């Protein structure tokens, strides 16, 4: 049964129904009922519904809430959307009184409300998951504050750093991902309920009181904005997408690091998969799918932006599909954080030492300390590198003579600078790749978390 049969002479065609009814919004049933509870209480307070009837409506809505939370709330094929289902069920329980539920309300402000309530719940949940992910990574970083690996630029070995430093880079990224959801939570603190179909109501409703009851900070200032805008949905998807994109970078590194060539990490058998054909294989599928699923989030963000583009005010049915994109993206991040965090919890890192070449900058900096301009020092070490390469030797094979041939200001003891562990030990700059820095970061991060 539709909410709008009055002016129609025939029932909706099956084709129309199948095309226009998208059951995704069933996921909003709890939000829809909570909004209805606040709405009914307000209608009673302002005298639009007698208090006795308000009590009956509230009791019915409490029954619905229990059904929804237990997963037993039943949707019928004839329910056009979640709002219709809730109203239909309230009428089943209360009879004609239920027909007052929709007083001074429209599905347009109702859906705007439901989606906001969903995003507040989801945002909080994603923040919790990002915190767990960060804590797992911090645990690994603490274990590897002294394990030396190459930091890469251009995917070429660049400088020696603790593995913990590399892992913590992702924790800082995750913290920003988390704070994006926090920022959004402020903007989500505006209730759209009371905007009605888009222009408000001639009835003396009090949107401020439903807003307060639902935990919003304030109420909308413009009813057309309240029902017609979906920028906050796009913003939630953007928060999800940037987090997914960040995780896809970690995922790619985990895939690389678990190759025979890198040999940095192994994952627990329970978090890897095998090959149906190749008996020796152990595949990091969670990481591969995490990398791949960032594509879906980017797709959802693009779709959500495009859905708004050029759309006239206020509500248009196009906006029904915001939920498709919102839920798809949000589910991707939820699943990815759960799976990646679990996989990381099973990780054992044992990376080989970096190539001695990563200490080249230390040699140049030794000259700088003796007053040599950096550019000159860079060239001197460049000459050394070039002559060693020409002879097929590594930097760790450089002799005192090689050094002094490259620049007279090298001292014999400088050969000892070609040591990847020492390179990390000598690192003193704030936030740089040193063991002390890893420990400082972990302390700071633990405070922030």
Q: Active-site residues: which are they?
A: 154, 275
Q: Is 320 in the site for ligand ARG (CB under 6 A)?
A: yes
Spell out the residues 6+ positions from residue 192 whose beta carbon is closer than 8 angstroms to its own: 109, 112, 113, 116, 220, 226, 227
Using omega within 30 degrees of 0 as the cis cutoff, is the peptide bond preceding 84 cis? no
Closest distance to ligand ARG from the beta carbon of 240 (Å):
20
Q: Is 25 in the site for ligand ARG (CB under 6 A)?
A: yes
- Residue whose CB is less far from ligand ARG, 68 or 398: 68
List helix spans (H) across 144-280: 163-187, 207-213, 223-228, 231-257
Q: What is the total residue count of the chain?
A: 449
- Residue whose CB is less far from ligand ARG, 25 or 87: 25
Closest distance to ligand ARG from the beta carbon of 327 (Å):
12
Q: Is 147 in the site for ligand ARG (CB under 6 A)?
A: no
Q: Is 419 in the site for ligand ARG (CB under 6 A)?
A: no
Q: Is 166 in the site for ligand ARG (CB under 6 A)?
A: no
Contacting range for ligand ARG; rule: CB under 6 A; set: 46-54, 96-104, 315-323, 415-423: 315-323
Spell out the residues 6+ positions from residue 298 whose beta carbon is closer than 8 angstroms to its own: 241, 244, 245
The owner of tokens 């949107």 is: 207
- Residue whose CB is less far from ligand ARG, 121 or 446: 121
Spell out the residues 6+ positions from residue 204 whose beta carbon is closer than 8 angstroms to its own: 46, 47, 48
- Residue whose CB is less far from ligand ARG, 307 or 319: 319
Binding ligand ARG (rule: CB under 6 A), the pick from 81, 87, 109, 362 is 81
Q: Is 314 in the site for ligand ARG (CB under 6 A)?
A: no
Closest distance to ligand ARG from the beta carbon of 315 (Å):
6
Residues 92-111 that bind ligand ARG (CB under 6 A): 107-108, 111
Sign of the CA dihedral running 297, 302, 308, 311: negative
**Three-point CA angle 284, 247, 240, nearest 5°:** 130
Q: Is 78 in the site for ligand ARG (CB under 6 A)?
A: no
Contact (Cβ atoms closer than 8 angstroms) between residue 407 and residue 372: yes
C-alpha–C-alpha distance, residues 42 and 119, integer Å: 23
Q: Is 117 in the site for ligand ARG (CB under 6 A)?
A: no
* Contacting residues toward ligand ARG, per CB under 6 A: 25, 81, 107-108, 111, 315, 317, 319-320
């Amino acid at each position: 049964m539709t909410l709008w049969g009055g002016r129609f002479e025939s029932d909706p065609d099956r084709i129309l129904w199948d095309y226009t009814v998208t059951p995704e919004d069933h996921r909003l049933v709890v939000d829809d009922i909570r909004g209805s509870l606040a709405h009914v209480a307000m209608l009673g307070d302002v005298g639009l519904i007698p208090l006795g009837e308000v009590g009956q409506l509230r009791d019915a809505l409490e029954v619905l809430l229990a059904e929804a939370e237990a997963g037993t709330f039943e949707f019928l094929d004839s329910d056009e959307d979640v709002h219709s289902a809730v109203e239909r069920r309230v009428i089943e329980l209360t009879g004609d009184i239920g027909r007052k539920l929709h007083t001074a309300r429209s599905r347009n402000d109702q859906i705007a409300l439901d989606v906001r309530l969903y995003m507040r719940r989801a945002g909080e949940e994603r923040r919790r998951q990002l915190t767990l992910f960060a804590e797992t990574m911090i645990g690994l970083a603490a274990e590897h504050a002294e394990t030396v690996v190459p930091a890469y630029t251009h995917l070429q070995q660049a400088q020696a750093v603790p593995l913990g430093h590399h892992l913590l880079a992702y924790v800082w990224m995750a913290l920003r991902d988390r704070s994006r959801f926090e920022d959004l939570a402020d903007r989500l603190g505006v209730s759209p309920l009371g905007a009605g179909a888009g222009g408000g109501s001639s009835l003396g409703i009090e949107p401020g009181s439903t807003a307060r009851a639902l935990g919003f900070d304030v109420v909308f200032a413009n009813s057309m904005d309240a029902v017609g805008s979906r920028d906050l949905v796009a913003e939630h998807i953007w928060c999800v997408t940037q987090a997914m994109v960040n995780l896809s970078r970690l995922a790619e590194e985990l895939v690389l690091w678990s190759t025979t060539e890198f040999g940095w990490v192994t994952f627990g058998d329970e978090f890897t998969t095998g090959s149906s054909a190749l008996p020796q294989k152990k595949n990091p599928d969670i990481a591969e799918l995490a990398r791949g699923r960032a594509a879906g989030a980017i797709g959802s963000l693009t779709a959500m932006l495009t859905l708004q583009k050029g759309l006239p005010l206020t509500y248009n049915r196009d906006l029904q599909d915001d939920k498709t994109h919102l839920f798809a993206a949000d589910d991707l991040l939820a699943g990815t954080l759960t799976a990646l965090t679990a996989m990381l919890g099973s990780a054992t890192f044992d990376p080989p030492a970096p190539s001695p070449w990563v200490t080249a900058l230390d040699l140049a900096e030794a000259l700088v300390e003796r007053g040599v301009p950096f550019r000159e020092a860079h060239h001197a070490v460049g000459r050394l590198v070039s002559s060693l390469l020409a002879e097929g030797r590594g930097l760790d094979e450089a002799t005192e003579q090689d050094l002094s041939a490259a620049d007279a200001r090298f001292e014999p003891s400088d050969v000892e600078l070609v040591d990847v562990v020492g390179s990390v030990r000598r690192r003193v700059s704030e936030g740089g790749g040193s063991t002390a820095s890893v420990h400082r970061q972990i302390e700071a991060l633990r405070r922030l978390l």
